[in-house]
């Protein structure tokens, strides 16, 4: 699973790439030089930035599968509060996300404005038990939307909805009027009922919850990965740098700039310390062999050890984020030119 192997950089690369694509590329007007006799104008004082307190994302972990190897929580509410949201929204809507386009064109709904959070949890060996939780859409909105599509059939049974489309069927469980659980294609009614009951859920998985508790659970996105021993995902982690990684966790915050914090959990504290030393040396060596324009950002990466965890954190201001995005875009263009 190559995506998991790159989880440490996936969020940063994706977000920086999107951000770079959203920047205003129009030429800036030239300012005539001041007359020699004129006193220099003082730099304008920027208006104060309103700081909105980060609120922890409320996730009912008891609804998610107990044996989930990965959990990803994405907050659209947080993203909508960021300064890049207007441009990022246009970029998302111009893509090919089938569900987004269907809801807009068929139902006249704006899912990017209505949905608050999306949670995905599952196990690589049990893809038919992956659960997606969505909060923000109401049951009435889904009813009305389904009624407008002649290819879709929606039947309701208490707090459950059975959806059939193009030979595939899914069960939806409504936890309340704005929170729904979606099962994978062709999964059983019994399974979604069990998850909606909240019994024997992820909240009883102490190891996974201990990783989740190390995330900030605020901002735009947080994740935790704890593969089962012997699974494909476990083999992938074993091949990562700084061997002995047992699990991963992290938080991404997009507000007035970008903050990313990721952690790697090891078998014991000694291995975490040794890996921290190795990671620090690797960054130092990378700085010596990297152009100075990139090197200054290597200095922004802070690596620390806490118990069995190696943690890495980087925080960029809006102007730094723009520069990194442009550097990344230039680097990718250079690579493509050599292919």
Query: Quick one: tokens of 1?
Result: 């699973």
| pLDDT of res. 312 | 94
Q: What is the spatial distance between Cα 226 and Cα 237, in angstroms, rounded to a whole number?
A: 10
Q: What is the spatial distance between Cα 68 and Cα 121, in angstroms, rounded to a whole number?
A: 6
In a domain, 107, yes or no: yes
In a domain, 21, yes or no: no
In a domain, 173, yes or no: yes
HSE (CB half, 13 Å, CA atoms) of 246?
14
Q: What is the spatial distance between Cα 65 and Cα 200, in angstroms, rounded to a whole number?
A: 8
Provide block-wise average pLDDT over 10 residues at a time, the chain (339 residues): 32 36 42 46 46 69 95 92 80 67 81 92 86 94 88 92 88 95 86 94 96 89 90 78 83 87 92 90 80 74 93 87 65 42
In a domain, 316, yes or no: yes
In a domain, 312, yes or no: yes
Domain boundaries, position 258 = 2-13+63-338
| pLDDT of res. 262 | 94
CA-to-CA dists, residue 254 to 12, 21, 325, angstroms: 11, 16, 14
Q: What is the spatial distance between Cα 133 and Cα 119, in angstroms, rounded to a whole number?
A: 5
Query: Quick one: tokens of 33?
Result: 């030089």
**Residue 272: phi, psi to the nearest 5?**
-65, -40
| pLDDT of res. 302 | 92
Among the listed residues 246, 227, 215, the one whose alpha carbon sits nearest the alpha carbon of residue 73: 215
Give DSSP secondary structure letters for 271-332.
HHHHHHHHHHHHHHHHHHTS-HHHHHHHTT-EEEEETTEEEEEEEE-HHHHHHHHHHHHHHH
DSSP single-letter state for residue 267:
S
Domain count, the chain: 1
| pLDDT of res. 6 | 30
In a domain, 52, yes or no: no
In a domain, 28, yes or no: no
| pLDDT of res. 191 | 92
In a domain, 18, yes or no: no
| pLDDT of res. 193 | 94
| CB-CB contact of 7 with 248 (8 Å) | yes
| pLDDT of res. 98 | 66
């Amino acid at each position: 699973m190559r995506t998991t192997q790159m989880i440490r950089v996936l969020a940063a690369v994706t977000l920086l790439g999107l951000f770079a694509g959203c920047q205003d590329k129009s030429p800036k007007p030239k300012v005539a030089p001041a007359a020699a006799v004129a006193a220099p104008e003082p730099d304008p004082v920027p208006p104060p930035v309103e700081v909105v307190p980060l609120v922890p994302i409320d996730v009912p972990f008891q609804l998610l599968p107990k044996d989930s190897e990965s959990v990803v929580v994405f907050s659209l509410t947080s993203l909508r509060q960021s300064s890049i949201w207007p441009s990022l929204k246009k970029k998302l809507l111009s893509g090919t996300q089938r569900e987004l386009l269907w809801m807009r064109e068929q139902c006249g709904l704006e899912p990017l404005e209505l949905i608050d959070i999306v949670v995905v949890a599952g196990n690589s060996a049990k893809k038919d038990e992956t659960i997606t939780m969505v909060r923000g859409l109401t049951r009435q909105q889904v009813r009305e939307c389904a009624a407008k599509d002649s290819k879709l059939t929606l039947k309701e049974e208490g707090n459950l909805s059975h959806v059939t489309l193009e030979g595939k069927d899914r069960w939806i469980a409504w936890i309340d009027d704005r929170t729904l659980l979606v099962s994978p294609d062709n999964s059983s009614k019994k399974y979604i009922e069990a998850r909606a009951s909240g019994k024997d859920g992820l909240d009883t998985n102490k190891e996974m919850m201990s990783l989740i508790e190390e995330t900030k659970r605020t901002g735009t996105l947080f994740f935790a990965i704890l593969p089962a021993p012997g699974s494909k995902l476990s083999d992938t982690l074993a091949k990562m740098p700084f061997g002995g990684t047992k699990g991963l966790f992290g938080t991404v915050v997009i507000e007035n700039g970008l903050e990313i914090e990721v952690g790697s959990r090891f078998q014991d504290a000694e291995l975490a310390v040794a890996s921290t030393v190795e990671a620090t040396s690797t960054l130092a060596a990378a700085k010596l062999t990297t152009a100075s324009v990139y090197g200054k950002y290597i200095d922004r990466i802070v690596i620390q050890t806490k118990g069995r965890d190696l943690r890495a954190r980087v925080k960029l201001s809006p102007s730094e984020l723009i520069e990194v995005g442009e550097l990344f875009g230039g680097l990718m263009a250079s690579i493509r030119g050599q292919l």
